[in-house]
Amino acid sequence: MQKKRIFFIAPYPHNSAPSQRFRFEQYFSFLEKEGFDVRLFPFLNQPTWKTLYSKGKVGSKILGVVKSFFQRFSLLLKLHKADYIFIHREASHLGPPIFEWLIAKVFRKKYIYDFDDAIWLPNYSETNARFHRLKAYWKVKYCMKWAYQISAGNQFLADYARQYNPNVIIIPTTIDTENYHSGNTDYTPEKLVIGWTGTHTTMRYLDELIPVFEYLNTKYTYTIQIISNEKPVFHFPNLEFIPWKKETEIKDLLNFSIGIMPLVEDQWSAGKCGFKGLQYMSLGIPTVMSPIGVNTDIVQHNTNGLIASSKEDWQSALELLLSDEEQRRRLGKRGKQTIESRYSVNAQREVYLSLFSE
């Protein structure tokens, strides 16, 4: 019996972008065990992906993107081989939804559309700010309208999608607690660490905590660790920057005694899927999050984590966790249980498999 084939069409190369790794790539081995033939078709290849988010090299960027468009057009000739088509975010990194239109309207192929951010809103790297209009953010509603099924990362995103398509299912971003996020933080370390991980585009959310760190530094001995692709612009004597590397990601996260996820109240934040918090909690790290979007679904205050709105809330939450080992242990263990029961690959496998059941 011939295996059913799934074409995953996505913006970035394999194992490069968190949205892809934790939305669908970590399900590949599971789908293959279930008898599917899985194929990934990224818009950008690895060299173009690295070049696109570096400074300068405009000529190389343009050449790489042009090649990417040619590869996408060549993919159209292979669509007849696919039993299922899964599009994550967009088929092409730039421009109108021409490939989605061709897939649905010309080649008459059904596709599943998956997204995990408020991607209809402008959000771009300063490195490529002058090109951001080429992103054509307006295309998202058409990608949704032409899909036969939509997979949204949270309720806010699902509500937006239902304006254009009633066939929406919520599948949260999940964590592989068996093969990847499988460790546990140390609740009695020699040195306490307040940690944050993310890209340079989200580091601005830490700005509101600078006065909190200044206060805590007068009372406690601890380290602030930032794991990112760029150094933070602020500095403290107890600040440590760790360049993000996939090979050391889990080991570096396990240094955290406390994980933080501050956000600001806006539509972009409301669309986020709580990924930082999910990562921390999966490793038993007691977590403090802003009460925005899906965060309040993930964390029940003082049960499996802490919620902090104001500067005073953040100060109080971090003081509690810095000073009380038992609270760190209690919240960390309950947070880990939450991930395993609701936000793990194991917990969502059957829901995910249902996307490919028709």
Instruction: Report yes or no: 21 and 174 within 8 Å, Cβ to Cβ.
Output: no
Crossing angle for the helix pair 325-342 and 345-353, to the nearest 10 degrees: 20
Q: What pLDDT sits at residue 36?
A: 96
Report whether pLDDT(214) > 90.
yes
Looking at the chain, the whole-number percentage of residues with pLDDT higher than 90 is 73
Report whether pLDDT(129) > 70.
no
Grade residue 132 by pLDDT with cuts at 50, 70 and 90: low
Q: Give the separation between CA 157 and CA 302, rounded to whole angstroms.
A: 27
Give the residue range(s) of CATH 3.40.50.2000 domains in the chain. 4-174+345-356, 193-342
Its pTM stands at 0.89
Inter-CA distances, 158 with 174, 187, 220, Å: 17, 37, 43
Tokens linked to 344: 């793990």
Q: Exposure pattern of 95-126 as b/e (b: 16+ CB <10 Å)?
A: eebebbbbbbeeeebebbbbbbbbbbeeeeee
**Strands of the 149-152 sheet, one edge to the other:** 36-42, 4-10, 84-88, 112-115, 149-152, 168-170
Q: What pLDDT sits at residue 53?
A: 67
- Mean pLDDT confidence for 272-298: 94
pLDDT digits (tens, 9 = 90+) for 23-68: 999 999 999 999 999 999 999 988 887 777 667 777 777 888 889 9
- Mean pLDDT confidence for 315-320: 97
**Strands of the 193-197 sheet, one edge to the other:** 239-243, 223-228, 193-197, 258-261, 287-289, 306-307
- Mean pLDDT confidence for 169-187: 91
According to CATH, what is the number of the domain 193-342? 3.40.50.2000
Q: Give the separation between CA 279 and CA 125, rounded to whole angstroms.
A: 24
Q: Give the separation between CA 152 and CA 113, rounded to whole angstroms.
A: 8
pLDDT digits (tens, 9 = 90+) for 88-127: 999 998 889 999 999 999 999 999 999 998 999 876 555 4
Q: What pLDDT sits at residue 2?
A: 79
- DSSP H or E stretch at residue 243: strand 239-243
Q: What pLDDT sits at residue 42?
A: 95
Grade residue 130 by pLDDT with cuts at 50, 70 and 90: low
User: CB neighbours (10 Å) of residue 148?
Assistant: 14
What fold characterizes domain 4-174+345-356? Answer: Rossmann fold (3.40.50)
The whole-chain average pLDDT of the chain stands at: 91
- Mean pLDDT confidence for 280-299: 95
Q: What pLDDT sits at residue 131?
A: 54
Residue 236, helix vs strand vs coil = coil
Instruction: Report yes or no: 256 and 193 within 8 Å, Cβ to Cβ.
Output: yes
